[in-house]
Structure 1
Amino acid sequence: MKNYATHNLKVILFSLCICIIYSCGSQKDTATSRSMQNLSARYNYIYNSKVILANHQTALAETYIDNYDQVLPLYLGPDVDIAQANVSLNLKPMEDIIKKAQAIILDKSYSNYIDESYILLGKANFYNGNYFNAAEYFDYTAKTYRNNINSFVEALNWKARSLMQLRRLKEANQTLDSLEYIIPEVKKQSNLADPFATLAQMCIYLNNDTAAISYLRDAIKASNQGQNKIRWTYILGQLYEKQKDYQNAMLSYRRVVKSNAPFEMYFNANLSRIKIRGLQNGVKTDKQKELLTLLKDDKNFDYNDQVYYQIAETYAADEDYPLAEKYYTQSIQKSTINQYQKGLSYLRIADLNFKQFRNYLKAKTYYDSTVNTLPKNYPGYDLILKKNQNLQYLTDRYEIISLEDTLQAIAKLPEASRVAKIQALVNPVETATTNPVTTNFNSQLNYGAGTNNKLQPQNSFYFSNPTAISIGYSDFKRKWGNRKLENNWRQSVRTSAQETTQELANNTNGVSANTENTVAATKDKETLTKQYTENLPVNTDLLNKSNQKIIDAYYEIASFYLQELDDPIEAQEVYQTLLNRFPANQHLAATYYSLFLINKTADPNKSATYKEKLLKEFSGSPYAKIILDPSFSIRQSELETSVNKQYNDIFEQYRKKDFNVVIQQVNEATKSSPSNYLSPQFAYLKAIAVGRTNNVDSLLNAFNAITTQFPDDKLITPLVKDHTAYITQHLADFKKRTIALIDFDPNEPPFAAQQLTSNNQIAQNTQQKEQAPKSATQPQPAAKKPTETKTPEPAKPLPAAVRTDGLFTDAKSTAYYYVVHVADASLTLSSSRFGIGQFNRGNYAESNLRHQLKEFDNDQLIYVGNFSNFDDAKTYAAGISSQLKQIMKVPVNIYTGFIISKENFDKISSKSLLSRYMEFYKNNY
């Protein structure tokens, strides 16, 4: 009996070994092999992979830094920048999951877990930041396992998430459409939580908060994971708060406070409850007092910066801006771990100083800190960066408004009182206890009050603003550097004897130095007094000119906000201020059209109002024609292309000195198109051709016709006025000539190569004399004088090192160019260069600017220089940008303007290097 039992046991063990060996050998589709593969796949691979994935998700949630100033993301993943760079994080836990999933696919091909393996591969790539591969794995799973409803839904859900991380929202939305269609077939409620959350996240990206709330409530209801429910409840409160549904927002935040939420989320939910409690109808509360009580809890120490920030926000909402700035500053000082919060406080202080206090230098400093502190993915970061880079453009125009308002207020005083008021401005009374923030705030005029502003108190005037003094000091430093007030201060390099003498003078003659300082200050005050007195708009004509400067400044500010900064909210505010102050101005048609576009989606009723005004009051304007006929702009572009070609053809005749043909063709062009955007330039070509073929009287008649017909032109008219002034000054010499303009050289600007004599010529070059000084309102780059030695401005301390991409750098230089890049080597740019020369002679006559052409590959570069510093080049760029269309006479989509240092420019020798610099310029300037 014992032998029989032993024999049977041996047979059983032998058979079992054979089965095991067989099942571990070649894969065969049998019941035994499928059973063994399912067993090992499920417990050796799938289970362990899910544990690893769950642990990673928990670790990610614990280490992820949420930004509670924005709506939180419903699910977490690596930064989008990683995905866009297509770089894998290569996390070890994810690599382990990938190996396990691949083992199932390769060795367990008859198991029931192949679909889950592909989903695990997709999730591992998702958390590795490799969203492209993740989307492909999920797409394959969805297409291959369409009949497995759970796998199909999960694959579509994670495919949509991967595409959303890549910001391919259109494709993600299409995937979610398929997902939403199949959701009713899912029977297990808990399997619906993630799809609903993904649908809610998509709605948040699309700014459809109402739909997001609906999906999110469904997700919370379906979820069986506590931490997800808490997070989603907080986000639900944020969405309700955005919609100003404060009652439901309070309920959501209260649930978070009472839950087992992480402390930071608990703190922010409590903070939000206090913040919105005072916003509920009928609720009276001391918001600042409640917020201050949070500072007493030691557990809130690391979050005190947020408390101070919220206190500042309440004061800003109440328009108590000095106190708001005080608490924003305290928020910065108390910041310990939250750089994002510090960046927001910097931003708020910058905005306050720019919009409310008009302290532009301080605003510039805080905008610099903002862009260096906030992450680049902050919503609106590019706008802040642009605003910071172009702050001088806006500042200059706001200062024009302040200046003209102040002068108008003084002019309204009795004549006897004006001198006293100007003296009070030149010699402001300083008090030791004055709060600089309050002074700056109170020193501004109420710009929106209309043109009949009453005279403000003494400290409301522009010239008593310390910022004006600071800006003047800054301009001095930019030109001369840090110079001591001493003898021969213009001389930057001195001999040792001079240094010794100066040191002895400083040590032994301090009283004399103070006296010299006082004398210099007295002279400056006398100059200021004279300037104020001479610029007072004391009659109707001067008042109209002053108002026109204000109108143009407002319009340029609004247009800059709308077109350059892409900030329609700020643009609309400035446009409205312009309309309130000056209901009748020459920019009405453009203003109405801009307001029509701004409100087209945001406020259709307001948009319709401005459309009606535009069609009624300016029915013949291009803006009205575009509204009535959307194809008008296309036809207009075609017309502009035709006009450009016509001008270039005539310019070629001008270069060939065929002046009679030039006159004839300009006359024909004027008949066929009597009014186009190049009309002043056509007229100028004709006038010069007349001067080359007729006497001075004919030339002056042609010039006078230009100034009469095109008084507002900013390119040709200033140049013609200079020519006229010069000819008038030397009229007797010109009268002796049979032909007004002689010795023509097409490569020289008009009049530059002429020489006048008592008979036929005068041995004197006329180039410098014809370039009359420009108005003080024209931007002037700092010109180098041969008798003056200047040192560059010392570099200011920067929070970071000089930026570079390995080849190009933003290090300071002593020479900069403004460059117009034309992406077409087949075009002849003679007329474009001629236009740039016209602009330079009309606006920068004394700056000795030169422009040259550089060609390579399929590109052409017209570069203008030299500018001694970046700010001068930037001022030039701001002035010429609005004229480039008239100057270039080539399609607007093929040219771009930018600034570059000489060192960087010398490195550009090919199209690829040019593209590389353009990217560097875009990211750093």
Structure 2
Amino acid sequence: MFSKKYIFLLFVALLSSCSQYKNGPLSKSWHNTNAKYNALLIAREDYKIANEIIIENDKENYEEVLPIFRRIDSTQLDTAKLYLIDAIKKSSIIAERHSNSKHLDEAYLLLGKARLKKQEIFNALETFKYVNTTSKSANAKTEAMIWLMRTYIENDDLASANQVSDLLKTQKLNSANKALFLSTKAYFHQRQNESALAVVFLDEALKTMKRGNEKARLHFIVAQLYEQLNQVVLARKNYNYVLKNKPDYNLEFNAKLGLLSTQSLAKNTALTYEKMLEDRKNQDLKSKIYYKMGDTENRKSNFPLAIEYFNKAVAYSVDNPIEKAFTYKALGDLYFEKLLDYESAGIYYDSTLITLPKSEVDKTNLGQKALFLNDFIRYKRAYDLEDSLQKLASMNPAELDFKLEQMILEKKNQQKKELEKTEQNSVLKTSNVGNLPKDMKRWILYDPVESIKARNEFVRLWGNRTLEDNWRRGEKTMGSFSIKIEKETIDSASIAKSAKEAAALLDEKVALEKKELDQEKKELLRKIPTSNMQKMASKRKQEEALFQIAKIYKLKFNDEEKAKENFNLLLQKFPKSVYEPEALYYLAIMNNQGNEFETKLLKDYPLSSFARQLKKGSVKLSKDKESEAQNFYAKAFQLYDSESFDLALTKIDEGLNEYVGSQIEDKMAMLRIMILKKGSNKDQYIISLNDFLRSYPSSDLILKAKELLAVLK
């Protein structure tokens, strides 16, 4: 009995000495063993499996520069989420039950990483901050700070990420932490579209990394970044490094495509592409090959072949909507930038948006571009229409009549071709016949003239026979001699009657076509500006369309070269245009300071809001000057109130020029709008309203300006 009691007391003593709150060697050894071989072992495995699932499910688009760290999308975690939850639970156990274990820092770091991957951003931030504050290990603190920086980046808090980065620069880093920090720093710059800085840091990070698929992937990104920076030699060097770092087949395949696409355009890559298409391993990757073939031909300016290859890439992109969407985008860009076919470009951009998953649409500016393209097409059509009408108006009557007839016939031929093409495609889709002739025409019975011609040919060969079964055997007892006689005995009266019917029908058809032609000519003649008033109206429409096209290039498409080209064309074609001040303003800000456009704007339109915008800069008025502006405004308002609109307009223009940057500048601008509203110059009124919306977006009077513009519309 005594021995049993002694054993029990000994057991209790041992348990009490193994408490997580004690630092004895027995306690530490026990908790270290339990932490390492139970909870931490499972947590590590869970986190590893979750990462593998995320990588497997992440269908990366190799036509875009890959993100340095794989995207974290909580909506697509699926099975990985279960492993992350278990990793969080298991790593939490170590903190709860084994707080004196030497594996506590690793457990907390694993907990933070799992929370980040699960998109629990706030919890991840708190975890990494806790490790950095409480850990006794310098390496653990540094690693926690690096992951804290990464979490801030994923949360788009780049200012906080930059602060952590500045702190890390002062820390002494071991090999693993150095590679992680440099990669994270590269990611920070990549998120800010700073490719040159991103590639420098990533290149440095790769020097301390071990060989493997992840290093191969980062070399691929470096190659893409160098290609983006037009450093083709360095891009090819890194594509070759990908092949040397044991990549998976998908990465290896895309690296080979990268090497092909960066070859000199003088080299014939077609044979290599053809071999890749024939390789059985690439049966599921044909869309990527055709995309690269299209891209190569596009860079060679061989646009028809590029379009053919891009369309084949679309046809083979069955299970990859992102890949298909970016092929549509490539087609849209080709039509928009190279072929200047804006309607086709609009169709392909719309297809891109329809095909692209909703989660990806917000990451591009395609939605806005497609929307703005509709406005662009509308103004481009208006400009081209007025341009062609003005050219027609300058022709003499005979030349004009011939030109209109040509235009109408050309339009009809085009419509006929499109109809035949549509019918041919319809037959090809519904028919089981494999190969139909390319010159397939409509069924003969749909054309009355062709039908009568065929009937006459039949009568000439066989006579005017009754419609009945077995018509060839009508006089079979007479033998072949009877048939021969019958063939030679032609019913001349019947043929003559049929010929007259055909001729009459043909004449009727010709007369109808001539009537339609004359009618269409009259319709076109009505649109041609003939009087001076009509010509002025046509030029006014063209002037507005050209101005809007230039603005869309500048503000919507961010294409400054095309914007400059169209603003300059506006100034050349329409001197003293109502849009000249604004055009000069945009040209001034797109060129270096002190340019000819700025000089002309300040000289010719010194009182315009655009001149004020150039002069404003960082002007700050003194209190006395602000009081002066208030008094000046009051006097201008009195003139407006007494309906002395001309004097009020002169006064307010003077004040806007004198008190640039004052606190009541927006009130002065609005008073000017109200004065113009009372006058007869509607164009200036509309321009001033739009100018107010752009120049004073934070003004309390912005709603008033929007209301006035809405009333006009």
How many residues were matched structurally?
Answer: 598
Q: Kindly state the Cα deviation for residue 573 of structure 1 after the two structures are TM-superposed.
A: 0.9
Q: 1:416 aligns with which of 398, 406, 429?
A: 398
1:891 aligns with 2:689: no
Q: SS of the counterpart of 1:347? A: helix
Q: 2:262 aligns with which of 276, 282, 289?
A: 276
Asked if the contact 2:546/2:570 (under 8 Å) is kept, the reply is no
Q: Relative to structure 1, is the Cα distance of residues 39 and 144 closer, same or farther in structure 2, using a 3 angstrom cutoff?
A: same
Q: Deviations over 1:558-594 (max 9, x none)?
A: 223444x3x322x541332341574374345433432
Asked if the contact 2:392/2:400 (under 8 Å) is kept, the reply is yes
Asked if the contact 1:193/1:219 (under 8 Å) is kept, the reply is yes
**What CA distance in whole angstroms lies between the structure 2 residues aligned with 1:516 and 1:884?**
58
**What CA distance in whole angstroms lies between the structure 1 residues aligned with 2:232 and 2:416?**
41
1:560 aligns with 2:552: yes
Residue aligning to 2:115: 125
Q: Kindly state the Cα deviation for residue 881 of structure 1 after the two structures are TM-superposed.
A: 7.2
Asked if the contact 1:551/1:582 (under 8 Å) is kept, the reply is no
Residue aligning to 2:213: 227
Asked if the contact 2:549/2:566 (under 8 Å) is kept, the reply is no
Residue pairs, 1:453-852, within 5 angstroms: 521-522=516-517, 525-532=520-527, 534-535=528-529, 546-563=538-555, 565=556, 567-569=557-559, 571-580=560-569, 582-583=571-572, 585=575, 586=577, 587-598=579-590, 606-608=591-593, 611-615=595-599, 618-619=602-603, 620=606, 621-631=608-618, 663-664=642-643, 666=645, 669-670=648-649, 672-673=651-652, 679=672, 681-682=674-675, 685=678, 706-707=679-680, 710=681, 712-713=683-684
Q: Deviations over 1:745-764 (max 9, x none)?
A: xxxxxxxxxxxxxxxxxxxx
**What CA distance in whole angstroms lies between the structure 2 residues aligned with 1:668 and 1:433?**
60
Q: Relative to structure 1, is the Cα distance of residues 11 and 612 closer, same or farther in structure 2, using a 3 angstrom cutoff?
A: farther
Residue pairs, 1:361-400, within 5 angstroms: 361-376=343-358, 378=360, 383-400=365-382
Asked if the contact 1:88/1:130 (under 8 Å) is kept, the reply is no
Q: 1:186 aligns with which of 158, 173, 183?
A: 173
Residue pairs, 1:144-543, within 5 angstroms: 144-145=134-135, 147-182=136-171, 185-187=172-174, 189-224=175-210, 226-278=212-264, 284-354=266-336, 361-376=343-358, 378=360, 383-411=365-393, 413-428=395-410, 521-522=516-517, 525-532=520-527, 534-535=528-529
Q: Relative to structure 1, is the Cα distance of residues 384 and 674 closer, same or farther in structure 2, using a 3 angstrom cutoff?
A: same
Residue aligning to 1:31: 25
**What CA distance in whole angstroms lies between the structure 2 residues aligned with 1:65 and 1:157?**
27
**Please, which runs of 5 or more residues in structure 2 have no aligned partner?**
422-504, 655-668
Q: Relative to structure 1, is the Cα distance of residues 165 and 270 closer, same or farther in structure 2, using a 3 angstrom cutoff?
A: same
Q: Kindly state the Cα deviation for residue 198 of structure 1 after the two structures are TM-superposed.
A: 0.9
Q: Relative to structure 1, is the Cα distance of residues 102 and 681 closer, same or farther in structure 2, using a 3 angstrom cutoff?
A: closer
Q: Deviations over 1:658-681 (max 9, x none)?
A: xx9954465774464257665575
Asked if the contact 1:89/1:129 (under 8 Å) is kept, the reply is no
Q: Relative to structure 1, is the Cα distance of residues 365 and 102 closer, same or farther in structure 2, using a 3 angstrom cutoff?
A: same
Q: Relative to structure 1, is the Cα distance of residues 136 and 196 closer, same or farther in structure 2, using a 3 angstrom cutoff?
A: same
**What CA distance in whole angstroms lies between the structure 2 residues aligned with 1:418 and 1:412?**
9
Q: SS of the counterpart of 1:102? A: helix
Q: SS of the counterpart of 1:69? A: coil
Asked if the contact 2:87/2:111 (under 8 Å) is kept, the reply is yes
Q: Relative to structure 1, is the Cα distance of residues 524 and 43 closer, same or farther in structure 2, using a 3 angstrom cutoff?
A: farther
Q: SS of the counterpart of 2:238? A: helix
Q: Relative to structure 1, is the Cα distance of residues 136 and 400 closer, same or farther in structure 2, using a 3 angstrom cutoff?
A: same
**What CA distance in whole angstroms lies between the structure 2 residues aligned with 1:893 and 1:155?**
49
Q: Kindly state the Cα deviation for residue 536 of structure 1 after the two structures are TM-superposed.
A: 5.7
**What CA distance in whole angstroms lies between the structure 1 residues aligned with 2:275 and 2:412?**
38
Asked if the contact 2:54/2:80 (under 8 Å) is kept, the reply is no
Q: SS of the counterpart of 1:67? A: coil
Asked if the contact 2:287/2:317 (under 8 Å) is kept, the reply is yes
Identity of aligned residues (%): 23
Q: Relative to structure 1, is the Cα distance of residues 672 and 398 closer, same or farther in structure 2, using a 3 angstrom cutoff?
A: same
Q: SS of the counterpart of 1:78? A: coil
Asked if the contact 1:138/1:159 (under 8 Å) is kept, the reply is yes
Residue aligning to 1:697: none
Q: Kindly state the Cα deviation for residue 379 of structure 1 after the two structures are TM-superposed.
A: 8.0
Q: SS of the counterpart of 1:607? A: coil
CA-atom RMSD, angstroms?
4.6
Residue aligning to 2:100: 110
Q: Relative to structure 1, is the Cα distance of residues 269 and 339 closer, same or farther in structure 2, using a 3 angstrom cutoff?
A: same
1:56 aligns with 2:50: yes
Query: For residue 313 of structure 1, what is the amino acid of its counterpart?
Result: D
**What CA distance in whole angstroms lies between the structure 2 residues aligned with 1:395 and 1:525?**
25
Q: Deviations over 1:743-797 (max 9, x none)?
A: xxxxxxxxxxxxxxxxxxxxxxxxxxxxxxxxxxxxxxxxxxxxxxxxxxxxxxx
Query: For residue 553 of structure 1, what is the amino acid of its counterpart?
Result: A
Q: Kindly state the Cα deviation for residue 180 of structure 1 after the two structures are TM-superposed.
A: 2.6
Q: Deviations over 1:374-413 (max 9, x none)?
A: 2456588553212323443222210122113323443454
**What CA distance in whole angstroms lies between the structure 2 residues aligned with 1:347 and 1:94?**
36
Q: Relative to structure 1, is the Cα distance of residues 361 and 576 closer, same or farther in structure 2, using a 3 angstrom cutoff?
A: closer
Q: Deviations over 1:285-309 (max 9, x none)?
A: 1244543442222222222222222
Q: Kindly state the Cα deviation for residue 426 of structure 1 after the two structures are TM-superposed.
A: 2.3
Q: Relative to structure 1, is the Cα distance of residues 338 and 589 closer, same or farther in structure 2, using a 3 angstrom cutoff?
A: same
Q: SS of the counterpart of 1:673? A: helix
1:79 aligns with 2:64: no
Q: Kindly state the Cα deviation for residue 138 of structure 1 after the two structures are TM-superposed.
A: 0.7
Q: Relative to structure 1, is the Cα distance of residues 894 and 326 closer, same or farther in structure 2, using a 3 angstrom cutoff?
A: farther
Q: Relative to structure 1, is the Cα distance of residues 663 and 588 closer, same or farther in structure 2, using a 3 angstrom cutoff?
A: closer
**What CA distance in whole angstroms lies between the structure 2 residues aligned with 1:715 and 1:244?**
45
Query: For residue 28 of structure 2, what is the amino acid of its counterpart?
Result: R
Q: Deviations over 1:624-681 (max 9, x none)?
A: 443343146999xx99x989x989999xxxxxxxxx9954465774464257665575
**What CA distance in whole angstroms lies between the structure 2 residues aligned with 1:684 and 1:217?**
62
Residue aligning to 1:760: none
**What CA distance in whole angstroms lies between the structure 1 residues aligned with 2:359 and 2:102?**
42
Q: SS of the counterpart of 2:379? A: helix
Q: Kindly state the Cα deviation for residue 90 of structure 1 after the two structures are TM-superposed.
A: 8.5
**What CA distance in whole angstroms lies between the structure 2 residues aligned with 1:401 and 1:18?**
95
Query: For residue 142 of structure 2, what is the amino acid of its counterpart?
Result: V
Q: Kindly state the Cα deviation for residue 368 of structure 1 after the two structures are TM-superposed.
A: 2.3
Asked if the contact 2:109/2:127 (under 8 Å) is kept, the reply is yes
Q: Relative to structure 1, is the Cα distance of residues 75 and 592 closer, same or farther in structure 2, using a 3 angstrom cutoff?
A: same
Q: Relative to structure 1, is the Cα distance of residues 546 and 162 closer, same or farther in structure 2, using a 3 angstrom cutoff?
A: same
Q: SS of the counterpart of 2:327? A: helix
Q: Deviations over 1:506-550 (max 9, x none)?
A: xxxx99x99999699557503333225x3269x8x9777655543
Residue aligning to 2:496: none
Q: Relative to structure 1, is the Cα distance of residues 319 and 23 closer, same or farther in structure 2, using a 3 angstrom cutoff?
A: same
**What CA distance in whole angstroms lies between the structure 1 residues aligned with 2:88 and 2:682?**
73
Q: Kindly state the Cα deviation for residue 353 of structure 1 after the two structures are TM-superposed.
A: 4.3
**What CA distance in whole angstroms lies between the structure 2 residues aligned with 1:80 and 1:590?**
47
**What CA distance in whole angstroms lies between the structure 1 residues aligned with 2:73 and 2:526?**
57
Residue aligning to 1:142: 132
Q: Kindly state the Cα deviation for residue 103 of structure 1 after the two structures are TM-superposed.
A: 1.8
Q: SS of the counterpart of 2:169? A: helix
**Please, which runs of 5 or more residues in structure 1 have no aligned partner?**
1-6, 440-509, 599-605, 651-659, 686-705, 717-834, 836-879, 901-925
**What CA distance in whole angstroms lies between the structure 1 residues aligned with 2:131 and 2:71?**
21
